[in-house]
């Protein structure tokens, strides 16, 4: 969505960006990095992908205990805390392609039985050896954390060191740019891409919505020309299977973030370029009669408002946007910045690679003047 082709720059997983947010940790070319959730298991069954949403104050002592008790036993494996249940696991000198590791994602597998000694798998001899090393470590971690509310770690999203061209170099946009959020993967992307990052709120459904909205307006006033406000709460509520909570999260975004931004821009038409609202993926997508818990690659709806261009769509939902200006066929997500007017004329963000599928698309709609 920010214009970098994921097939060139993603490093295979999100954990590389989360590592970049940890200023005192560097990754070598042969090293691997994984996200490592603190989770709760009952016997072999995963019952909570976030250990009952364990918070940082409780999580940090557990991570420190693991490191103090297992550091010598497993040299070259490092566990670093990010926030709440989120941690980063570094494997020094692994020397394999991260795509060769098979790592189930915990938020997609609550209720599933796992054996710590066989959690990670490999696709060839080299990756199998790395997986076996990781699994031995996980067995010992489970022993160290036995009886705790978070009694295991669950590694996933294996990745390697990454580098980005700056946002300015990639898009040609010369204005001041900022991201308002709290998630470490965004902080890492901002750091690598030369975007200012402002940490506001948390990654939980009880995040500081009003604080995020206020920071957006503050940045507008300070002369920032491109501001991204990221709010993780609806995604987290979906993974928690809490429909009512997800509704409350979206209503809070409407009230504290979206409405103030629209009102600010509407009162200053000379400053208005465009305002886009979009999910980055589906969670709990309705597939036939049941909902799929996993992240989906289906095209997502987005709405773009500039108080000038209109179509006949009056509702922002998955079905209505199909009748909008860009609803006839999916729009590549690397084109979103161009629709907003951020990308310089002639810049080419799309980069197709032989043997790889194109990046995931999105559906677009321009609403009438009253944003609903």
From first to last of its 372 residues, the chain has per-residue pLDDT tens of: 899 988 888 778 888 888 888 877 888 999 999 999 999 999 899 999 999 999 999 999 999 999 999 999 999 999 999 999 999 999 999 999 999 999 999 988 999 999 999 999 999 999 999 999 999 999 999 999 999 999 999 999 999 988 889 999 999 999 999 999 999 889 989 998 999 999 999 888 999 999 999 999 999 999 999 999 999 999 888 888 888 999 999 999 999 999 999 999 999 888 888 899 988 777 666 666 666 666 777 778 889 888 888 888 888 888 888 889 888 888 888 888 988 888 866 666 644 333 343 333 344 454 433 332
Distance CA 49, CA 151 (A): 11
Alpha helices in the chain (DSSP H): 6-9, 15-20, 56-70, 125-144, 167-171, 184-193, 209-221, 233-239, 243-253, 259-266, 336-340
Cite the DSSP H helix spans in 37-101.
Answer: 56-70
Cα separation, 372 vs 370, whole angstroms: 6
Name the 3-class secondary structure at 364.
strand
CA distance 21 to 268: 35
The C-alpha atoms of residue 335 and residue 329 are separated, in whole angstroms, by 13
Closest alpha carbon to 309 in 334, 277, 340, 330:
340
CA distance 51 to 67: 19
Angle at 150 between CA 110 and CA 129, to 5 degrees: 75
Entry pTM? 0.79
Q: Which residues of 170-186 are buried (b: 16+ CB within 10 A; e: fewer)?
A: bbebeeebbbbbbbbbb
The tokens describing 363, both together, are 């559906």
């Amino acid at each position: 969505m920010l214009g970098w082709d994921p097939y060139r720059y993603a490093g295979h997983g999100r954990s590389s960006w989360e590592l970049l947010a940890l200023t005192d940790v560097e990754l070598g070319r042969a090293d691997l990095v994984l996200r490592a959730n603190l989770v709760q298991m009952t016997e072999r069954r995963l019952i909570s992908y976030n250990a009952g949403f364990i918070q940082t104050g409780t999580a940090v002592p557990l991570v420190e205990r693991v490191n103090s008790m297992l550091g010598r036993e497993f040299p070259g494996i490092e566990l670093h805390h990010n926030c709440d249940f989120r941690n980063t696991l570094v494997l020094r000198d692994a020397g394999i392609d991260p795509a060769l590791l098979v790592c189930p994602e915990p938020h997609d597998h609550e209720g599933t039985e796992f054996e710590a000694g066989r959690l990670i798998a490999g696709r060839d001899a080299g990756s199998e050896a790395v997986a076996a090393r990781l699994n031995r470590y996980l067995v010992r971690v489970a022993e160290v954390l036995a009886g705790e509310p978070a009694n295991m770690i669950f590694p996933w999203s294996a990745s390697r060191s990454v580098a980005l061209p700056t946002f300015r170099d990639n898009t040609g946009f010369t204005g001041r740019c900022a991201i308002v959020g709290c998630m470490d993967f965004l902080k890492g992307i901002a750091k690598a891409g030369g975007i200012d990052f402002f940490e506001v709120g948390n990654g939980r459904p009880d995040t500081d919505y009003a604080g995020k909205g206020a920071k957006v307006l503050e940045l507008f006033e300070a002369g920032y020309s491109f501001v991204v406000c990221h709010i993780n709460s609806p995604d987290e509520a979906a993974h928690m299977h809490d429909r009512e909570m997800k509704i409350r999260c979206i209503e809070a975004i409407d009230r504290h973030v979206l409405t103030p931004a629209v009102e600010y821009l509407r009162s200053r038409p000379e400053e208005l370029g465009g305002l886009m609202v979009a999910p980055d993926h589906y969670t709990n997508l309705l597939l036939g009669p049941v909902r799929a818990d996993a992240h989906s690659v289906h095209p997502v709806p987005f709405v773009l408002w500039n108080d000038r261009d209109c179509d006949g769509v009056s509702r922002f939902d998955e079905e209505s946007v199909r009748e909008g200006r860009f609803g006839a066929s999916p729009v590549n997500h690397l084109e979103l910045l161009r629709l907003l007017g951020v990308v310089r004329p002639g810049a080419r963000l799309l980069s197709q690679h032989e043997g790889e599928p194109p990046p995931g698309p999105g559906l677009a709609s321009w609403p009438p003047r009253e944003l609903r």
